[in-house]
Amino acid sequence: MKVFELFSTRKHKAESAGETDVYQYDELPQKVRVQISKIWDDAIGRYWKPSGYSMGSTPYHNNDYWQEIHDIVAREKGVFHLGDNYDNAKKRCNSHLMNSDNIDDCMDIIEISFKVIDKIFGKWDEYERTNKSISLDPKEAVDELNYRLREAGVGYQYADGQIIRVDSQYVHSETVKPALALLSDPIFKGAEEEYRSAHTHYRSGENKDAIVDAANAFESTMKAICDAKGWDFEKGARASDLVKVLRKNGLFPDYLDKSFNQLLAVLQSGLPQVRNNEGSHGQGATPKEIPAHVAALALHLAAVKIVFLGDCFKVK
């Protein structure tokens, strides 16, 4: 017998440290549950239950896999059936998703169902999927799930067969969360609002605005440090100008030597360059499409730089 380790089992093995974050992990909004149920309709297909003495060919359906998803989760949960005692597996799966009070229970069935969609249906051709009443491409189903979760600020994503907490990703836990912790200081209030706004835009797919706000947060952090230290800077100073002010006033330790020069080069050419190329200048007759991974890079670069500046500020 094959045993499945559910999401909730893994989660309780490694709980988060509970730092401030741009995502929440305890609730799955009803709107998102409905959206996921609708993805299931298209990506898993219908459940067909014969009724009366109707004649004719059996319509396309996917009873077998609905039953398999239900039975895997029910077995691992140690219950006879999921949700309310409906007469078919699809209704029970939907009831479990829509009515569970515990987000872990929801993530368990989401994970198993999308593992089936991704790993099994993803290997089928279009003809096989059509014969199972599947109308949505598996990759598109996964992409939509992750978008709906991100849009709602729910800190989970499906990746390679598993639901993972966003803060379990190394970059997020080592850069974004420390940056938010630093920006929670009242002197960085403006930068914090801009950085959180950048993540709000990112979750909504507004990637250009995410890049602009991430860059603004970086600049606001430098301005806040200058204000706190009483260091003058020109009105309308750019990021590169502010870096020079901070360096001139000794915010960066001199003993970094050549590595310090390399770091300064990154500070001057990294995030500001992304923002200047993709966010601030005119886009011409054809609107530019900013990929999500470029926006994510801007968010992470901003976080790294903000944490570095904050650490220097604390010891200066």
Distances, alpha carbon 180 to alpha carbons 65, 122, 193, 199, in Å: 43, 38, 10, 11
pLDDT tens readout for residues 85-119: 888 999 999 999 999 999 999 999 999 999 999 99
SS3 string, 239-256, reads HHHHHHHHHHCCCCCHHH
> Residue written as tokens 């993530």?
107
pLDDT band at residue 274 using 50, 70 and 90 as cut-offs:
low
pLDDT at position 10 is 64
* Domains defined for the chain, CATH in brackets: 7-165 (no CATH), 170-315 (1.20.120.330)
Of all residues in the chain, the percent with pLDDT exceeding 90 is 48
CB atoms within 10 A of CB 41: 16
DSSP E strands, 108-223? 156-159, 162-165
pLDDT at position 279 is 63
- Report the candidate in 223, 239, 225 with the shortest Cα–Cα distance to residue 273: 239
pLDDT at residue 24 is higher than 60: yes
pLDDT at residue 204 is higher than 90: no
- Our CA dihedral for 71, 57, 120, 203, rounded to 10 degrees, sits at -90
Window from 57-61, 166-170, 222-226 with minimum mean pLDDT: 166-170
pLDDT at residue 287 is higher than 70: no
**Cα 223 to Cα 190: distance, rounded to the nearest angstrom:** 10
Say if residue 163 is exposed, middle or buried (CB neighbours under 10 Å; 0-12, 13-18, 19+). Answer: buried
Long-range contacts from 184-190, C-beta under 8 angstroms, 24+ separation: 184/20, 187/224, 187/227, 187/228, 188/220, 188/221, 188/224, 188/310, 190/220, 190/224
Amino acid letter, 103: I
pLDDT tens readout for residues 169-196: 777 878 888 899 899 999 999 999 999 9
Cβ atoms of residues 15 and 104 within 8 Å: no
pLDDT at position 286 is 55
Average pLDDT across the chain, whole number: 84
Instruction: Find all residues with CB under 8 Å of 258, minimum gap 6, and list them.
Output: none
Q: 63 or 171, which is more confident?
A: 63
pLDDT at residue 285 is higher than 90: no
pLDDT at position 187 is 94
Label residue 70 left, alpha or beta by phi (over 0 means left) and psi (-120 to 50 means alpha). alpha
Mean pLDDT computed over 210-230: 92
Mean pLDDT computed over 141-168: 90
Window from 12-16, 108-112, 168-172, 206-210 with minimum mean pLDDT: 12-16
Mean pLDDT computed over 109-134: 96
Cβ atoms of residues 40 and 24 within 8 Å: no
Q: 270 or 74, which is more confident?
A: 74
pLDDT at position 269 is 47
pLDDT at position 17 is 41
pLDDT at position 114 is 98
pLDDT at residue 166 is higher than 90: no
Q: Is 265 helix (H, G, I), strand (E, B) or coil?
A: helix
> Residue written as tokens 């999308």?
114
Amino acid letter, 82: L
pLDDT at position 143 is 94
pLDDT at position 263 is 47
Distances, alpha carbon 30 to alpha carbons 41, 64, 99, in Å: 17, 27, 9
Amino acid letter, 123: K
pLDDT at position 31 is 95
Instruction: Find all residues with CB under 8 Å of 88, minimum gap 6, and list them.
Output: 47, 49, 63, 66
pLDDT band at residue 77 using 50, 70 and 90 as cut-offs:
very high
pLDDT band at residue 302 using 50, 70 and 90 as cut-offs:
confident
